[in-house]
Amino acid sequence: MFNGAGVAIVTPFNEGKIDFEAFEKLIDFQIENNTQALIVLGTTGEASTQTYEEREKLISTAIERAGGKIPVIVGTGSNSTQVAIENTKQAETLGADGILLVTPYYNKCTQKGLIEHFTTVANVTSLPVILYNVPSRTGVNIAPETVLAMSKVKNVVAVKEASGNISQILEIKRLVPKDFKIYSGNDDQVVPIFACGGHGVISVSSNAIPREMQHMCQAFMDGNVEEALRIQLLYKKFIDLLFCEVNPIPIKAALNAMGYIKNELRLPLTSMEESNRIKLVDEMKKLGII
């Protein structure tokens, strides 16, 4: 896997279709600015509104453009175990380096169901698996004991923790093996999760500030906690604005302001409210992002 900042990369659209030219430019921007991994077809990539065929081309494009320089990790999760299996097999066949498995949403399940679901999907692939805990979206929380159970499955190697619950993350760290990785799923908690024994972040903000997010992570890993905290605080307001509306609405507005993509999302997501967009752009100007 990776240590440091991986980007949960957006999927750019142009008149309803994926804008592959813009997508390739985004990947180049990430690699040039030291991002440690590309995470495609996650929440930020609007995976839930893309067809199987679109997924195939997006994954292939990401792998080809990355050219082995950094790992490409594909979000393959679903609330249907069978669909998650099909997505996972697709990603492995196309040459992905790992998969990200979100908890089943809407129909939900018990902790027993989570273990059976994750284990069933993990067993159809040789790729390393990152569990994805985001209860604010799915309505299901992965309990620390469940993460422990899953850490015993040989290719389940990490968890992306977006619960925001620092006490829970500490408990996960206490339970799991030392080589099991914990990634922050919240950009405003990177330094706190590093302090809990974490290994990095799967970041929305890295779409716009990849070098800065990786510098923050590297500073902490090098023992310069003061510098890591300085960066975390410097970009705190920017990060807050990126989540003042549902992700990826604000980050797409930010990338549009930077000239990388059209400000286009797929329904039911809609463009950022103008009052919020102005605040976001103003903060980006203050920080020198644009």
Choosing from 25, 106, 132, 237, which is the catalytic residue?
132
- The pLDDT of residue 255 is 98
Neighbours of 178 (CB within 10 A): 6
pTM: 0.96
- The pLDDT of residue 214 is 98
What string of pLDDT tens digits covers the 290 residues of the chain?
Answer: 899 999 999 999 999 999 999 999 999 999 999 999 999 999 999 999 999 999 999 999 999 999 999 999 999 999 999 999 999 999 999 999 999 999 999 999 999 999 999 999 999 999 999 999 999 999 999 999 999 999 999 999 999 999 999 999 999 999 999 999 999 999 999 999 999 999 999 999 999 999 999 999 999 999 999 999 999 999 999 999 999 999 999 999 999 999 999 999 999 999 999 999 999 999 999 999 99
**Catalytic annotation on 160?**
yes
Task: Please state, in angstroms and rounded to a whole number, the distance separating the CA atoms of residues 72 and 45.
Answer: 13
- The pLDDT of residue 11 is 98
- The pLDDT of residue 103 is 97
Query: Cα dihedral sign for 25, 30, 32, 36?
Result: negative
Strand partners, 130: 100, 158
- The pLDDT of residue 243 is 98
Contact 105, 138 (CB under 8 A): yes
Contact 18, 53 (CB under 8 A): no
CA-closest candidate to residue 50, choices 267, 255, 242: 267
- The pLDDT of residue 265 is 98
Contact 62, 72 (CB under 8 A): yes
Choosing from 57, 160, 183, 285, which is the catalytic residue?
160
**Catalytic annotation on 132?**
yes
- The pLDDT of residue 234 is 98
- The pLDDT of residue 1 is 82
Contact 37, 59 (CB under 8 A): no
